[in-house]
Amino acid sequence: MLKTIRSIFIALACMLAAPAMAQTTQSYSTYVLGLPAASTLTGTEKIATIQGGASKYTTPQQILALLVGSGDCTISSSIVCTKTNGVNFSSLATTAPGTGVVTALGNNTNAAGGLVTSPVPVANGGTGDTGTGWTTFTPSPSCGTATFTVASARSKTIGKTTFIELNMTITALGTCTNSITIALPNTAASSAVISGANLRTGGFAYFNFGTGGTSATCILSAGAAYTVNDNVVYSGVYENQ
């Protein structure tokens, strides 16, 4: 009996003296340094992997097949894809025009579904303008036997719109009365009135033309007669053909 009690006390003492068992977690990271360039791969190299908890080896070709589908692409210093989901690319996908995102690249420039140049042509809804400045045109003013000095005659056409500016002075009146004819820089697509002023008098001036016109008639306010040294200046915009 005494022997049994002594054994129990010894067991209890051992339990109290023993340290508690602690759980430990080990964190680690493994880095592979100095991997070869992708261009040096042949597709048959062995790469360590874990599948279902078991250590395995795989190849770059197997990994590629997992990502893009078996047989669609191959790797040998570069990745080359010739299929989509096992179906070979057709010639339409790379050469001839067609429909879809890829085949549209084969269409002619500025054609329906094709690429568009810059600037966008008028036929494709653009202006065709490259940002060039205005250019000089020849107005050839005419009124009886009058003579003129043209200080400036400039225009700029963007698509179907023409901007125009003209500054001229009568240096000799001759038989000129109240109507001066000038040439337009192009053919008008619709009738228009371009406003201006007689800088000598401060009065109103304008010139007008009709649809299909290539010339315009310059008139002073209320049809007043021109006099020598009248300096008329016009600026405006109209629709051209």
The model's pLDDT over 4-56, given as tens digits with 9 standing for 90+, comes to 545 544 444 544 444 444 444 444 455 556 666 767 777 788 887 888 778 88
- Please state, in angstroms and as integers, the Cα–Cα distance from residue 201 to each residue in 107, 136, 178, 195, 219, following that order: 60, 27, 15, 15, 14
Q: Could you give the CA distance from residue 227 to residue 146 in angstroms, rounded to a whole number?
A: 10
Structural domain ending residue among the three candidates 46, 81, 116: 81
Cα within 13 Å of Cα(188), Cβ side = 20
Give residue-wise pLDDT tens across range 188-199.
Answer: 999 999 999 999
What pLDDT score does 25 carry? 47
From CA 227, how far away is CA 26, in angstroms rounded?
A: 105
* Nearest to 211, CA basis, from 235, 188, 180: 188
Question: Does 73 lie in the same domain as 161?
Answer: no
User: What is the model's pLDDT at position 23?
Assistant: 44
If asked whether residues 231 and 139 sit together in one domain, one would say: yes
Residue 77 lies in a domain: yes
Please check whether residues 77 and 140 belong to one and the same domain. no
**Residue 59's pLDDT is what?**
84
Q: Which domain holds residue 175?
A: 135-239
Q: What is the pLDDT of residue 27?
A: 47
Which CATH number belongs to the domain containing residue 167 in this structure? 2.60.40
Average pLDDT, the chain: 80
Say if CB 185 and CB 161 are below 8 A apart.
no
Please say if the pLDDT value at position 113 is more than 70.
no
pLDDT on residue 46 = 81
Instruction: Flag whether 231 is in a domain.
Output: yes
Q: Which of 190, 182, 186, 228 has its CA nearest to residue 206?
A: 182
Residue 205 predicted with pLDDT over 60: yes
pTM, 2 dp: 0.53
Q: Which residue has the higher pLDDT, 153 or 86?
A: 153
Question: Which pair of structure tokens corresponds to residue 52?
Answer: 């279902």
Q: What is the mean pLDDT of residues 96-116?
A: 57
Q: How far apart are CA 196 and CA 206, in angstroms?
A: 5
**Is 32 part of any domain?**
no
183, part of any domain:
yes
Domain boundary among 16, 46, 81: 81
Say if residue 239's pLDDT is above 90.
yes
Domain presence at residue 86: no
Report if residue 154 sits inside a domain: yes
Residues 140 and 232 in one domain: yes
For residues 155-171, one letter each, b for 16 or more C-beta atoms within 10 angstroms of the residue's C-beta and e for the rest, the string is: bbbbbeebebbbbbbbe
What pLDDT score was predicted for residue 110? Answer: 67
Is 123 within the bounds of a domain?
Answer: no
Q: Is residue 9 part of a domain?
A: no
Percentages of the chain per state (helix, strand, coil), in multiples of 5: 15, 35, 50
SS (H, E, C) 21-82: CCCCCCCCCCCCCCCCCHHHCCCCCCEEEEECCEEEEECHHHHHHHHHCCCCEEECCCEEEC
Domain count, the chain: 2
- Whether the pLDDT of residue 165 is over 60: the answer is yes
